[in-house]
Amino acid sequence: MSYNGSGTFVINTSGQPVVAGTVISSTAFNALTADLATGLSTAITKDGQTATTARIPFAAGISSTLVTDSSSVSTGSIITAGGVGVAKALYVGTTANIGTTLTVTGSSTFTGAIAVDSVTDSSSTTTGSIQTDGGLGVAKAAYIGTTLNVAGLASFTATSAVLLAKGTTGQRPSPTSGMLRFNTTTTEFEGYNGTAWSSVGGAALSNDTSTATNVFPLFANATTGTASTVFTGNAKLLYKPSTGEFTSSVLTAGNGIVVNSQSVATSYTIATGYSGTSAGPITIASGQSVTVSSGSRWVVL
C-alpha cells in the first residue's frame, strides 16, 4: 500500500531506497513506478476524472469559486446525490430551495418572511401549505384569507373582545348551519339556524298589526339588567295583533280599578258566547258601531 493510512505516501518496494554507487535493477525500478502509479491512482484529480471511495476530511473547510446559483439538484457549487449533514450553523446567502422534505429537529429562527407558493387549501391537519404536529404560537396578528377551520375547542383568552364578521342583509354569505355575524342593516347579531337567519341575543321587534291569530305575550324574570329566562302566558294570556285584543282566563285589577275609555273609536262586534261591560257615559264615534251578537249582552254602567 502506497499510503500509510494517515495520508503519507510511503515507498515500500524492494530495492528502495537506492544505495549510491549501485546499479538500479529493472525489478526495483519497475516496482517503484508501479508503486507510484498505485499512489497516483488513489489521489484526487483536479479535473474530476476520479471519485473518492471514502469520506475526505477538510480541516480548513471547502471553498468554491463557482458563483452560479443552484436551480436544481445538479447545479451550483456543491452537488451531492445523497443528503448533507451539517453539525453547525448553516448560512444561505440568498434562496434555499428544498426539493423534497426539510426536517428540523430543533428550533428555527426566521428573521424575514416565509413565503409558501402552494395554493392548496387545507382540509385537515395533514393538508395545506404548512403542517405541524404541535401547536402554533403567533405573537402578532394572524390573517386568514378564506376559511379558518378549528376541529377542536376555539378558546379566546383576551380581555378585550371578539370581532365578528359584519355586513348588510344583502351581504349575507351562502348560509351554513351555525354561522354567526353582525347585521349592519338591522344593527343586531344574527345566526343561521339551518333554515333561516334569526336574531341572536334577543328577538327582532316588529310593529305587527296584521296577524289575525293569537300570539303569546312574553314575561321576563328581571326588571333591570339582563333577563336570564323569558316566560309566555301560554293559552292563559293571548294577544291578537290584528285587533289589539287580549284574552285572559281571569282579569284581576290589583289596584281595584278597571278603566275603560268613554268613547268607542272603532267598530266592534261582541262575539257569540261573550258579553261586555263599560262604565259610562259611552259615546260611539261617528261612522262606528257596536254589534252585539245573538245571545250576548253589552251592559253600560
| pLDDT tens profile 80-138 | 888 888 888 888 888 888 888 888 888 888 888 888 887 888 888 888 888 888 888 88
Q: Is the pLDDT of residue 226 over 70?
A: no
3-state helix, strand, coil in the chain (%, to 5): 5, 15, 75
At residue 204 the predicted structure's pLDDT band, cuts being 50, 70 and 90, is low
In a domain, 178, yes or no: yes
Q: Domain for residue 145, yes or no?
A: no
Counting the structural domains of the chain, the total is 4
pLDDT tens string 66-88: 888 888 888 888 888 888 888 88
Q: Are residues 244 and 274 in the same domain?
A: no
Asked if residue 3 is part of any domain, the answer here is yes
C-alpha cell at 265: 273609536
Residue 245 lies in a domain: yes
Amino acid at 203: A
79 part of a folded domain: no
Q: Is residue 107 part of a domain?
A: no
Contacts of 24 (CB under 8 A, 6+ apart): 15, 18
pLDDT in tens, 42-70: 888 888 888 888 888 888 888 888 888 88
| Torsion over CA: 248, 252, 253, 258 (sign) | positive
Domain end: 52, 70, 93, which one?
A: 52
Q: Which pLDDT value is given to residue 203?
A: 65
Domain presence at residue 102: no
Domain range for 185: 162-205
The verdict on residue 89 lying in a domain is no
CATH number at residue 193: 2.10.10
Q: Are 202 and 208 in contact (CB under 8 A)?
A: no
262 shares a domain with 224: no
Residue 5 contacts residue 42 (beta carbons within 8 Å): no
pTM comes to: 0.47
